Amino acid sequence: MIYNDYLKMINSEYLKNLNKAQKEAVLHIKGPLLIVAGAGSGKTKVLTTRIAYIIKEKKAYPNQILSVTFTNKAAQEMQNRVSNILKKEAIGFSWLGTFHSVSAKILRKHPSAVGLNSNFSIIDQDDQIRLIKNICKSENIDIKKLAPNYILSVINGWKNKGLYPEKVVPSKKNIFEKGILKIYKIYQSKLLDLNTCDFGDLILHCVNIFENNNDILEIYSNNFKYILVDEYQDTNFIQSKWLKFLAKKHKNICCVGDDDQSIYSWRGAEIKNFLEFDKVYANTKIIRLEKNYRSTQNILKVASELISHNQNRVGKNLETTKDVGNLVKLNCFKNAKSEAVGVSDEIEKKLKKKNSLNEIAILVRAIFQTREFEERFLKIGLPYRIIGGTKFYERAEIKDCVAYLRLIYQSKDDLSFERIVNIPKRSIGKTTIKQINEFAKKNSFSLESSARKLIELNLIKPKTKIGLNSFLNLLLKWRDDLITKKFHHVKLMQIVLDESNYSAMLKNKKDLENENRLENIKELLVAMKEFDDLDSFLEHVALATSIDQKWDGEKVNLMTIHASKGLEFDIVFLPGWEEGLFPHQKSIEENGDKGLEEERRLAYVGITRAKKNTLISFSMNRYYQGNWIDSMASRFINELPEKNIEKNNFFEVKNDEDFEFNQDFKIEEETRSPGWIRYLKRIK
């Protein structure tokens, strides 16, 4: 290339706004490339510009470029950005999508290679569960002991590892795997019989085709002159293998990601794919994007110092284009309630300085933590939204529990009756519920009275009668517990959860979703303890949900740190930095040092969501599972650099007596926020 032409090329309009490392990553198009992209370093910009450069410089036609993302949203954003640069030149860019969408496209062209017809269907999770239930029924497997959701999660795990049933070796540590393998064999056979596949099959089948059909593999490996992969640190074994096959011919594979933001091992992601990229692909070029365009210097220093304690990482030295900014605040509180008050006070201060609520986020380690903040915000009239989840009192398990309590308290509560009459399953189907409703309407009965009368008249089918009668008897027993025996409403809730088998239902379904539901129910018990009686608690729930519905406009964002990945906010609160909660005890127990390092990466992700202000906090005491427990500050706090941290007054107290906890702790009036004053005016 003539030197003048080279200068013209590197000064093209779409390349002008790139820094030195970004430009190097765009222009390096020969051989494997790993782009280590730190938080806020503009990785999407690099990827899209790289695609544009390849096409503009005629290194490949659009249909010779494979670009893979993890979400449809990311794929669409990439498509839009490339189109903005290339305009008409972007036409024919047909191989941009998720791993699953690209795999489906390939599989459609060669279905017979894995025993499918060209018109095969793709089933969703609901259909998968239904099929597994049918298999369990035909094989006399008790789904109460081996939940379909858990079976599916194990099967998906095997598929992520590239294992068809015949290649699975059941783990001796997991007593269920031998039985699940039997189901897996039948499940795969049924899928073929039905001419269908699940999402895991899409990639697994493609890899199978590539392994056993070299002629088909050559079609794609020859065609894809360039391969680009976003969020490579989140790939699993089978995805990595899929990419290796497709890059076989030209080896021009460019993977972008950040090992420090690898936080999805629980869904199969393997960080070693990123760490060992240069071992898999010979002559790999590694380029680090170390200029951060998001966070202030203090925020970045704190995040960088924390993550430096991880051993398994590529490593990078992030620098920011922003100014020094405020110190990262570290606040200690007496309990979770005072933590919520403290956070709301800080938010009120930010509002006075004209900060937008939309630019404020509270990031928690576990979803149950949102409850204290929701309660506080509801009380003082501070609007909020839950991102990537549901508000506490709208979560299915919470609504179920409240419905039980409402029906016990008020036998004519038909809505509650209808909600929980068959939760957990009591063989009471839609037909029976319809029968109860029609009889109630005809005779002006409540649904409960209608059900009792239908049983008395022997109009309910024998099998259904057993379940319905058991439920109705339990209602009478629980009312006796409440009214005659005068059980505390928290104790009553615990009895209901036990005797209805609701807790057992969740415990038997061994997956993350149900573990979160159990945590939410434990948090509900904490919430109930704050009220004198059942009446006042139920009134609180009713008012809380009705107040919430009136809010519109700007809102504070509440979410888990996992849900915050890829987002950014001016101000970020990170509460609950306590041992056992963050780092989470389960993660360490199950995965040891690997689990601890992932928890630290999660903390790093949380801190780096902030552009201007980060506020970390922990509580000295937390009410958990019916008891007050002493909390210990997270080990991560000791890993933060002192010079970039500002601590609140709690850290200046030297007398241990000042740290003694009183569960009836009241916050002094002068410490109440403007929001609290708003609340007092409202109730007067």
> Which residues are catalytic, by number?
43-44, 230-231, 261, 609
* Distances from the Cα of 158 to the Cα of 200, 237, 262, 492, 654, angstroms: 9, 10, 21, 42, 54
Angle formed at CA 33 by CA 32 and CA 36, multiple of 5 degrees: 150
Chain position carrying tokens 């007067």: 684
How many angstroms separate the CA atoms of 669 and 676, rounded?
A: 9
How many angstroms separate the CA atoms of 268 and 255, rounded?
A: 18
**Segment holding 152, helix H or strand E:** helix 148-160
Contact in structure between 574 and 636 (CB atoms under 8 Å): no
What DSSP line would sit under 161-183, residue for residue?
TT--GGG----SS-TTHHHHHHH
What DSSP line would sit under 272-303, residue for residue?
HHHHTHHHHSTT-EEEEE-EESSS-HHHHHHH
587-625 b/e with 16+ CB inside 10 Å = b? bbeeeeeebbbbbbbbbbbbbbbbbbbbbbbbbbbbbbe
**Segment holding 35, helix H or strand E:** strand 33-37
Question: Nearest to residue 524, comparing CAs of 627, 372, 419?
Answer: 372
* Distances from the Cα of 299 to the Cα of 321, 601, 609, angstroms: 12, 15, 10
* Distances from the Cα of 633 to the Cα of 89, 346, 419, 582, angstroms: 55, 21, 41, 9
Q: Give the strand pairing for 291-292 and 285-289.
A: unpaired
The residues that bridge with 624 in the sheet, in sequence order, are 627
Which residues are CB-contacts of 248 (< 8 A; sequence separation ≥ 6)?
217, 221
